[in-house]
Amino acid sequence: MKYAIFTVTKNGAAIAQRLQQVLGSKCDVYIKEGRGRVLKGTYAYNSLAEYVGETFYRYDALVFIMATGIVVRMIAPYIVHKTQDPAVVVLDEQAKHVISLLSGHIGGANALTLQLAEILGADPVITTATDVNGKTAVDVLAKELTMRIIPVEHIKNINAGIVQGDAIAFYIDKDMRQAKLYLQQLQVKKICAHIVSAEQVQASDMLRVFITEKSIISIDDKLLVLQPRRLAIGIGCRRNTTQEEIEQAFMLACKNIGRNPAGITVVASTIVKKDEAGLLALAEKLNIPILFFTNEELQNKIDTYHLTTSEFVQSKIGVGNVCEAAALCACQSGKLILHKTKLTKVTVAIAWEK
């Protein structure tokens, strides 16, 4: 995850920089001017509202060390939907409490709250019903399985049933290529599931969750569908980089996010690399489709997501970011889960569909 921490007091700045040491280079700290030392990865601001607006969608998680009321007013204009909003967590400036405020499940605010509370020795405050009742919410399950939720409006129906102790049936489409793998993953989570046909699922009147790759299925208000998200790896490389060198970067990227390489559904790069032998050979070896995007398409993602750019890459390709932009181009509505990672001759990034 990529984090931003906002503070308004000197004590808050000290806590923020303590967290930054643990969270690492993916954590930026924003300090009110004159309220703390401006170190590496730290930025001074005049207007909190202005900076929150500029950064709200640039980070996976926003941590505020200040009063909850201030945070509510700051983020209110930018909240869209639980499937798109970043995680938002609030701490008091004495670090006594850590509050999960927004996007607790899908965005990961609940998990981050527990993590920060453990680091600081604080009390975690989580109010989502499934969590306080010790149950696993279906949107948490979907995130862990890298699944899209269809329709998101039915999350509340299934989660309400889980909280109330209602019977929830979990089904896996018998036509899925990895049906047995998903069955095993659910068994690990102590969820009993059955491999059945789509027709059997539609004939049931239970509260039920159906894992399928099918996009055309009739959905009633007791049914929630989980579909595998497109997991796209964007690759940039120097000319004549070997297949072995690209594959090494590919495997490292998968390891960094804890995903099986078989879960990658598409490789993406710039149209400039459409004849890159090593890249084409790797896609063929892994039997993964490869997509190439124009400079205009890549630049659109760079602008939309405020991606960092390289002058060297700009001079060679015509745009300043290949791997992150290409990964996002390969997803209809993407989110980076691995930001640009560089080896000697290769850069890689991974995005998944929201």
Domains of the chain: 3-127 (3.40.50.11220), 138-228 (no CATH), 231-353 (3.30.420.180)
pLDDT digits (tens, 9 = 90+) for 48-90: 998 898 889 889 899 999 999 999 999 999 998 887 889 999 9
- Residue 24 CB-density burial (10 A; 0-12 exposed, 13-18 middle, 19+ buried): exposed
Enter the pTM of the model: 0.64
What's the pLDDT score for residue 212? 92
Three-state secondary structure call for residue 44: strand
**Is residue 216 pLDDT above 80, yes or no?**
no
Residues contacting residue 56 through CB under 8 Å, at least 6 positions apart: 62, 75, 78, 86
Measured CA distances, 292 to 139, 237, 340 (Å) = 32, 13, 18
- Asked if residue 346 lies in contact with residue 235, where contact means CB atoms within 8 angstroms, the answer is yes
- Band the pLDDT of 157: cuts 50, 70, 90: very high
* H/E stretch holding 98: strand 97-102
What's the pLDDT score for residue 37? 67
CA dihedral 43, 99, 104, 159 (to 10 degrees): -170
What's the pLDDT score for residue 324? 96
Q: How many CB atoms lie within 10 A of CB 138?
A: 25
What's the pLDDT score for residue 178? 80
Over range 190-196, report the average pLDDT: 93
Please compute Rg for the chain using Cα positions. Answer: 22
Q: How many CB atoms lie within 10 A of CB 172?
A: 24
State both tokens at 304.
Answer: 């939309």
